[in-house]
Chain A
Amino acid sequence: MANKDEEFARIVSTHRNALLRYGLRRLDDHSTAEDLVADTFVVVWRHFNDLPQRDEELFWLYGIAGRVLSNLLRSRQRSLLLEGRLALERELGLDTPRYSKEDIEELMQALGALSPEQQELIQLAYWEKLSYREIGLVIGCSEKAGGIRLSRTRKALRNLLNEASAEVTPIPLLKKEI
């Protein structure tokens, strides 16, 4: 096995982009996302003896990044509000928006109504595109438990979306004052 420095360099090179995407998806500025990734790797260095096997490294890293992220955000709702506004800007900026402003607002509002843990599950599934097993590795449960949690969360999200369709309440898209 390579020495610690070499192995650490390999881990950084291999997973930095995935973690940067993870951070950029959840934070509102690239500098903080870079901080998140740097801090995640610092934790990895300090817990190098806990390193899992290679094909599971990334999911372990996501788990660490999630903990670092929890220190960065006062609430996931704030982050989602930002993401929602960005998403709106991007989508509506297209020549032919694929979804209406109302559709996206409904989705963002429903996501914002989920608990932080549920939001993370949805994001891991749809943005990081993780499988049940991989989600289980990230959140520290079995594949079966990960699948059950995600299914329940999907159901909760669909219920919220159905409610939103029945009664649309504008999402507060302006950034919250801190």
Chain B
Amino acid sequence: MNDEKLALMMEAIDPVRDLTDETLEDLFPHKDLMTKIQAGIKEPAPEQSRVASVPVWRRASVMATAAALAAVVAVGGFLIDAATTSSQFAVLSFRPSGVTASEFGGSHSAIGTTLTIESVVAPLGTLYRFNSTPTFSSTSGAASSYELTGPSDLSVEVQRLATILNVAGTATGSDSNGWQVGTALGGPAVSLYNDPSVNLPRASYIAPVQGNAGSVCPIVGDPLDTNTQAMQTTAQSFLTQVGMTYTLATPAFTAAPLPMPLCGLNASAQQLTATIAASGVPTMNLVVHMAFNENGQVIEADFPDVNLPVTGVNYPLQSAEAAASSLAAYESSAIQWNANWFSATTAVVGHGPLSTEKKTAPSITAVTLNGVTIELAATELNNGSHWLLPRYVFTGTILNDSTSTGRFLDSVSAIEPKYVNMPSTNVGLPDDVPAPPVHP
């Protein structure tokens, strides 16, 4: 092969050969990148950073709490986010596709099948020292996996929702920007769009501000209603009414400002935020948010439009101890992983820079694990299917010189590793930088 052909073929296999600056701007919004950078900058210098804490933005990606997601939902708006992020879906073309739908989804008899996960939570790029024996007695060790399906035709689905919710009009929009019936300005309206965080459909509903009884602007400064059970019941009834088969996990309730068209900036409403649950096991990243007026009626709702099957697939689960060990099993070349750390009072594990030029000992984050639960994470597989897959969620305390500096939170797939093919996404900052160019 001559140089010319080599150059042409290298160009042909360039993974980003067709990626324009405009697409890059869409895929990686500048503000998101800056947020990550700023979070990293706020961390202490490398020598201390691994001791002090893990990057905030990584922890955020690991565990999106209901409160945080509620904020996203609250400001997410009506179709707006879908429009601005829809092009991110194009990135899926970059994904590896090691497992085909037929290989996995044929019988749903998943035992013995290796999954390849497209979207996984990045393991923390840091070194760990677990310096006390955690107790995992609360771990049940049992959770099924569920395949989630969404509506096949978003325009038909939004029309169906509109009919149920008495929203008049015809669906307008597109699959990329979302579909809507009615008008968000004053309502009523219902919309359906892709939630880019999980690549699943999400529906929004706004009740009419005027017209129907009880559907008025929320009262300013509402105190939190103590009858939260009524709100939860109403929310569940609403979901059942629109055909959702899932239940709500333990909700959080707030009385908070709720921007509503035609109601001014001071509107405030009772609000409920909860992840959905499958057979009583909460999910990590599928959130329902609803707001209620003073009569307890739903005035806004935002929820995943997915079908959750009644029964799931029972993948064999690894033990919580084994999962915990994998917290630090990545790139464990710097310090030898001690597989028996769980029973030891002090064991040092870690993964540091792989550079062969780096000979200095890595810094260590001291973590005391003190709890574990099991939750389900909506995950997109390489074959395009979406699943709720169980993960162990570990909590702990990050220590620095015997001083507590933060809360440790990370999750690990609970399914036996041999059934899951996860990409390596370990991140660690190098302590060294190349020397700047020297000019003669």
Q: Which residues in A have some Cβ–Cβ distance to B below 8 Å?
A: 12-13, 16-17, 20-21, 24-25, 28-32, 34-39, 41-43, 45-47, 50-53, 56, 59-60, 63-64, 67-68, 70-74, 78, 82-87, 89-91, 98-99, 103-104, 107-108, 122, 126-127, 137-138, 140, 154, 157-158, 161-162, 174-175, 177-178
The 4 closest A-B pairs by CB, nearest first: A63-B434, A87-B13, A42-B40, A126-B10
Q: List 26 A-B contacts (CB under 8 A).
A: A21-B16, A21-B24, A24-B19, A24-B94, A30-B91, A30-B94, A35-B58, A37-B28, A39-B429, A52-B436, A60-B434, A60-B436, A67-B432, A70-B354, A71-B354, A71-B427, A72-B428, A74-B354, A85-B98, A87-B15, A89-B97, A104-B9, A138-B434, A158-B1, A161-B6, A175-B116
Known: A17-B21, A74-B331, A175-B98. A29 touches B433 (CB 8 A): no
Hey, which chain A residues are within 8 Å of B267, CB to CB? none
- Looking at the assembled complex, report how far the CB atom of A103 sits from the nearest CB atom of chain B, in whole angstroms: 7
Q: Is B208's CB within 8 Å of the partner chain A?
A: no
Q: Which residues in B have some Cβ–Cβ distance to A below 8 Å?
A: 1, 3, 6-16, 19, 21, 24-25, 27-28, 30, 32-34, 36-37, 40-41, 43, 45-46, 57-58, 61, 91, 94-98, 114, 116, 118-119, 122, 125, 331, 352-355, 421-430, 432-437
Hey, which chain A residues are within 8 Å of B427, CB to CB? 32, 35-36, 39, 68, 71-72
- Looking at the assembled complex, report how far the CB atom of B26 sits from the nearest CB atom of chain A, in whole angstroms: 11
Instruction: Kindly state the separation between the CA atoms of A30 and B36 in the bound complex, as whole angstroms.
Output: 14
Check if A71 sits within 8 Å of B13, measured CB to CB.
no
Hey, which chain A residues are within 8 Å of B114, CB to CB? 177
Known: A126-B11, A140-B434. A29 touches B425 (CB 8 A): yes
Nearest chain-B residue to A173 (Cβ)?
Answer: B98
Instruction: Kindly state the separation between the CA atoms of A162 and B41 in the bound complex, as whole angstroms.
Output: 48
Instruction: Kindly state the separation between the CA atoms of A71 and B430 in the bound complex, as whole angstroms.
Output: 7
Query: A-side binding surface: helix, strand, loop or mixed?
Result: helix
Hey, which chain A residues are within 8 Å of B7, CB to CB? 126
Check if B421 sits within 8 Å of A177, measured CB to CB.
yes
Hey, which chain B residues are within 8 Å of A71, CB to CB? 125, 331, 352-355, 426-430
Known: A20-B28, A70-B355. A38 touches B33 (CB 8 A): yes
Known: A35-B427, A39-B427. A86 touches B96 (CB 8 A): yes
Instruction: Kindly state the separation between the CA atoms of A34 and B26 in the bound complex, as whole angstroms.
Output: 13
Given A38-B57, A90-B13, 15 extra CB contacts under 8 A: A16-B33, A21-B19, A28-B96, A31-B122, A37-B28, A42-B43, A43-B430, A43-B433, A50-B433, A63-B433, A71-B354, A72-B428, A107-B6, A108-B13, A126-B14
Nearest chain-B residue to A128 (Cβ)?
Answer: B14
- Looking at the assembled complex, report how far the CB atom of A168 sits from the nearest CB atom of chain B, in whole angstroms: 14
Total A-B pairs, Cβ < 8 A? 199
Instruction: Kindly state the separation between the CA atoms of A174 and B99 in the bound complex, as whole angstroms.
Output: 9
Check if A28 sits within 8 Å of B40, measured CB to CB.
no
Hey, which chain B residues are within 8 Å of A13, CB to CB? 30
Hey, which chain A residues are within 8 Å of B424, CB to CB? 72-74, 78, 178
Check if A37 sits within 8 Å of B437, measured CB to CB.
no
Check if A157 sits within 8 Å of B116, measured CB to CB.
no
Check if B433 sits within 8 Å of A122, measured CB to CB.
no
Check if B98 sits within 8 Å of A161, measured CB to CB.
no
- Looking at the assembled complex, report how far the CB atom of B2 sits from the nearest CB atom of chain A, in whole angstroms: 8
- Looking at the assembled complex, report how far the CB atom of B91 sits from the nearest CB atom of chain A, in whole angstroms: 5
Hey, which chain A residues are within 8 Å of B421, CB to CB? 175, 177-178
> Which among B94, B423, B430 is the interface contact of A64 at CB below 8 angstroms?
B430
Hey, which chain B residues are within 8 Å of A51, CB to CB? 436
Check if A32 sits within 8 Å of B122, measured CB to CB.
yes
Instruction: Kindly state the separation between the CA atoms of A178 and B98 in the bound complex, as whole angstroms.
Output: 13
Instruction: Kindly state the separation between the CA atoms of A123 and B3 in the bound complex, as whole angstroms.
Output: 14
Instruction: Kindly state the separation between the CA atoms of A154 and B336 in the bound complex, as whole angstroms.
Output: 37
Check if B433 sits within 8 Å of A64, measured CB to CB.
yes
Instruction: Kindly state the separation between the CA atoms of A84 and B15 in the bound complex, as whole angstroms.
Output: 9
Nearest chain-A residue to B14 (Cβ)?
Answer: A127
Instruction: Kindly state the separation between the CA atoms of A43 and B7 in the bound complex, as whole angstroms.
Output: 32
- Looking at the assembled complex, report how far the CB atom of A81 sits from the nearest CB atom of chain B, in whole angstroms: 9
- Looking at the assembled complex, report how far the CB atom of A109 sits from the nearest CB atom of chain B, in whole angstroms: 12
Nearest chain-A residue to B428 (Cβ)?
Answer: A71
Hey, which chain B residues are within 8 Å of A91, CB to CB? 12-13
Nearest chain-A residue to B10 (Cβ)?
Answer: A126
| Most chain B Cβ neighbours within 10 Å, of A16, A37, A138, A140 | A16
Instruction: Kindly state the separation between the CA atoms of A140 and B1 in the bound complex, as whole angstroms.
Output: 29
> Which among A24, A32, A68, A174 is the interface contact of B429 at CB below 8 angstroms?
A68
Instruction: Kindly state the separation between the CA atoms of A104 and B331 in the bound complex, as whole angstroms.
Output: 30
Instruction: Kindly state the separation between the CA atoms of A74 and B192 in the bound complex, as whole angstroms.
Output: 41
